[in-house]
Every structure is written in C-alpha cells, then in structure tokens.
Structure 1
C-alpha cells in the first residue's frame, strides 16, 4: 500500500517522526518498519525520520500487507450504496433505515458494510468502520478507506471535530429549545435497551432545537456532545416525547423517525472544514 499526501498550507514545520507519531497516529510497530525498510520519501527523495516537513511538502509512505490486518467480510450489493462524499482516504454514505451498519460475525450479511465492501472492491479498496448508526436510524455514516486514516478519524471523533446533526419527529409539542443532561446505563431487564441511570450510567448530553411543533408532534434537530448507545431515543423518552415509530422506547408505528441529517468534520489531511448532508431527510 502506498500513500502520497501533500501537506496542507496550514501545516506547521515538524519532523517526519512527529508527524507520523503525533498527528497521524501511526502505530509504533508500523513506524519501526517504515524506518528500517526506508519506506518514506519526501518530495520524491528517500527521507529520514529526523528530517523536517512543512506546508506544501509531499510525503509518500509505503506499507506492507502484514503491517495492518484486515477482517474479510462477505460482499453484498454495491448498487445499494449511496455515496455522499468520497476521496482516496474516506467515504461518507447515506445509510437506509432498517439495516445494520456493520456485521458482528465474519459471515454475517445484509449490512451496510457488506454492500460497501463490494462497492470498494471494484476499486481495489477496503472499508474500515469509524462509527455506527442504530439499525433503525438512517443518514450519514463515515468509513475509512485505509488503515492509515482510521485512527486519525477516531481521534477527531473524540475531539468533537466530527459530529452529526440529527432530525427527529417526536410525539407531543415541544415548546422550546433545550439541553438534556442525563446519564445513560444498561437496562438489566432487557439487554437491547438503555435507561436513564444517574447513579451508575455514563454522562450523556443532547442539545435539541425545535424546527416546528404542533399539538400532536414536533420536528426537532439534535446534536450530541456524547455518543452513547440509543442516546437520542432514551433522552427524548425521558422527557415524555419519544421518537415516533420507535420500537423500543415508543410505539412501533412505521419507521423510526430519526435521521442523521448532516455531518461536520475537518478532513484529516487537507484540514478542510466539510459539511455533508443526507437529504431530503424527514421534512
């Protein structure tokens, strides 16, 4: 695997060692092999780890197949993939409601990941899971296309430089914007579900903006500070406004009215601020 990356104009001057270790999060073992194999080139010339790089420089890295392990999966149907954004390092797709993001077993099929694996196989590329959406939820999902970018995307998620804006339609009239700050834990009586658990649960924060409301239902936007399982669904139920169509926390009438409408992120290599929309959404 070869990766050629031109450093962005806001790249500070640092050594190749610092770039690989601290910015790109290349694992120590892999950095060791890059160095001893002399598989790093700077502006077309063999490079040493102590050399400095700066804005506009081009760095080429060559990895061997054994440097990164990949779990093979069964190919699905590439025609099912709706691409919202794609480049050589990452791909963002629009997930339909009613399918899982990824398989839990190697031979499992019927997930978004199976279909994406088939789509990328045509380009001699592979998908890597960055995050997930619940099976019932539709909308934007980000995947890495190589193992180099995967840990960087993970760190951007942790730093909240990648986040999503959700649409939801809930039962009842919400009259004002609000923030729900309630801890979420597991339901001991139903392993599928989560509950509000202020004593033992994990911190969970959901910001809600009302788009439109009438006496029967409300259209809202949600942005999360945290990414707990079923967070939006549990929080909205806790204030008496369950999401319409929720089979676990409300009444299963039609599909779950929850959609990951937009994703905001900083591209890991170009540092470009990106806004990706999975429209038209729920309204």
Structure 2
C-alpha cells in the first residue's frame, strides 16, 4: 500500500523523523519497518531520517499489510451505502436510522460491513451513531489515517451537528448543557446524568423552529458520550420525539439526525464541510409552527 502525502505548510521545516512521529503518529514498530526497508521517498528520491521537508514536496510511504494486525470484517451489501465523501484515506456515509454502526454479534450486518463491501477493503470506525440515529458517519480506509482521525476527535477538531425534534417549547435560543453522564444502574441500555460518578459532557443546543408542542433544535457536541444528546435533553425536560429508551412512544423513528460534519483532512489539510439530509427525519417534522 503506497500512500503519497503532499507536505502542507504547517509541516515545512520538520525532519522526516518528526513528520513520521509527531505529524503522522506512525507507531514506533512501523517507523522501524519503513526505515529498515527504505520504504519511503521524498519527491521520488530516498531520504535520510533527518532530512528536512518543504511545503509542496511529496512524501511517499509504502506499507506492507503484514506490518499491521489484520482485522477481518465480513462484507455486507454495497448498495446499502450512501456515500457523501470518499478519497484514498477516508469515507463518510449517510447512515439510515435502524442500522447499527458496527456489528456486535457474529454474522450480524451493520454499516461497517456495508462500507467494507463498497470499498472492497478493511475499514475502521472513527466515531459511532446510535442505531436509531441517522446521519453522517466517518470511517478510516487504512490504519495509517486512523490514529490521525482519532487524534482530531480527541482534540474536538471534528465538529458534529445534529438536528433533533424535542417535546415541549424550548425556552432559550441557545443553551449549553454540561451535566456529567454515567451509566444507569437500573437499565444497562441507558445512561443518565450523574453529577458524582459521570464523565464530563458538553452539548450546545440552539433553537431552530418553535412549535406549539415541539421544537426543532440543532445540537453540537464537544464530547462524545453514549446517548449524550438524548440524556441531556431528556434530563432537562425536552425528550426527543420517538426516543425508544428515554421517551417511549407507540410509533415513529427517533427524531435525531447527524446532518453536518466538518474537519480538516489530516493528510491533505483540505477543509471538509459535509452535510446530509434524511427523508424520514424531515417527514417526521409535522408540527404547526407558532413563531
């Protein structure tokens, strides 16, 4: 697997060693293989470990599959994948509601399996969506870009915005919830606000459209706790319409859709701002607005 990388301005002046260690987060074992097998070049020429890089130069890394631990993922159905963005390194898809991000049982088919069928190669989950939630989902297409995307996620440099339809008239134009979230001791499927033992969580909620009994809001995550939006909003008296865990109703989907994803591509430095819609989510917004 050859991966060409055009050196961005922010890496100019670094040594090859610093690029591999600090910019690309290449594991020590893999750096050793690259060095011993002379499996890297700069503008088509062999390079020393202390060679400096300049903006616009092309660094080519050649990886062998047996350098990384293999992960066998059963292929699903390629026609189940709605691609929003794809390149050599990553793929973003629009997951429908009712589909898991990844399988939990042998033989189970999930979004990851369908992405593998579409790409024809092993892919890796970067972040997750609840089964009932639709929207944008990011996967790495090789083990080289995976730690870079994970670092962006940890640094909160991958921005995710959700649309949610909630019960009640959301009072504020904008509200930030910072309640810690932990496991529900009475129901292992659920999470709850736990001021003492919970993990830090932050959700920014903006009112988009106000109805007589429901409100359409946009939610931005600064953290990625399980069921974070669902827990924060239900805890403060605004449960999501159709939520099977926190606001059970006889019919209808969970009204939560990840509609916007933005990040700076970790290898090309290209700003990506991606959006996706959901017909079933839009069909569920059936209230008469009052303002």
TM normalised by structure 2 equals: 0.93
**1:275 to 2:258 alignment:** no
CA contact (8 A) 2:11 2:23 kept: no
CA contact (8 A) 2:71 2:122 kept: no
**Deviation digits for residues 60-103 of structure 1 (CA, Å, limit 9, x no counterpart):** 11111111122112211100100000111110000000010011
CA contact (8 A) 2:164 2:217 kept: yes
Tell me which of 216, 221, 229 is aligned to 2:226. 229
Provide structure 2 residue ranges, at least 5 long, that are not aligned to the other structure.
283-291
**Deviation digits for residues 41-70 of structure 1 (CA, Å, limit 9, x no counterpart):** 111011121111111011111111111122
Matches of 2:191 and 2:198 in 1, distance apart?
10
The residue aligned with 1:199 is 196
Tell me which of 264, 267, 273 is aligned to 1:266. 264
Which residues in structure 2 correspond to 1:15-54 (within 5 Å)?
15-54=15-54
The residue aligned with 2:287 is none
Give 1:11 deviation, angstroms: 3.3
CA contact (8 A) 2:257 2:278 kept: no
Which residues in structure 2 correspond to 1:146-161 (within 5 Å)?
146-161=142-157
Tell me the secondary structure at the aligned position of residue 131 of structure 1.
Answer: coil
Give 1:8 deviation, angstroms: 2.5
RMSD (Å), alpha carbons: 1.2
The residue aligned with 1:162 is 158
Matched residue pairs, number?
279
The residue aligned with 1:12 is 12
CA contact (8 A) 1:40 1:48 kept: no
The residue aligned with 2:139 is 143
**Deviation digits for residues 216-235 of structure 1 (CA, Å, limit 9, x no counterpart):** 10000000111100000000
Tell me the secondary structure at the aligned position of residue 17 of structure 1.
Answer: helix
Tell me the secondary structure at the aligned position of residue 29 of structure 1.
Answer: helix
Structure 1 outlier segments of 4+, above 4 Å:
none
Tell me the secondary structure at the aligned position of residue 11 of structure 2.
Answer: coil
Of 242-251 and 63-72, deviating more is 63-72
Tell me the secondary structure at the aligned position of residue 53 of structure 1.
Answer: coil
Tell me the secondary structure at the aligned position of residue 217 of structure 2.
Answer: strand
Of 10-19 and 93-102, deviating more is 10-19
Matches of 1:255 and 1:178 in 2, distance apart?
25
Give 1:215 deviation, angstroms: 2.2
Give 1:197 deviation, angstroms: 0.5
Provide structure 1 residue ranges, at least 5 long, that are not aligned to the other structure.
none
Matches of 1:17 and 1:51 in 2, distance apart?
8
Matches of 1:276 and 1:182 in 2, distance apart?
29
Tell me which of 251, 254, 260 is aligned to 1:256. 254
**1:183 to 2:180 alignment:** yes
Tell me the secondary structure at the aligned position of residue 167 of structure 1.
Answer: strand
Give 1:128 deviation, angstroms: 1.1
CA contact (8 A) 1:75 1:114 kept: yes
Give 1:10 deviation, angstroms: 4.4
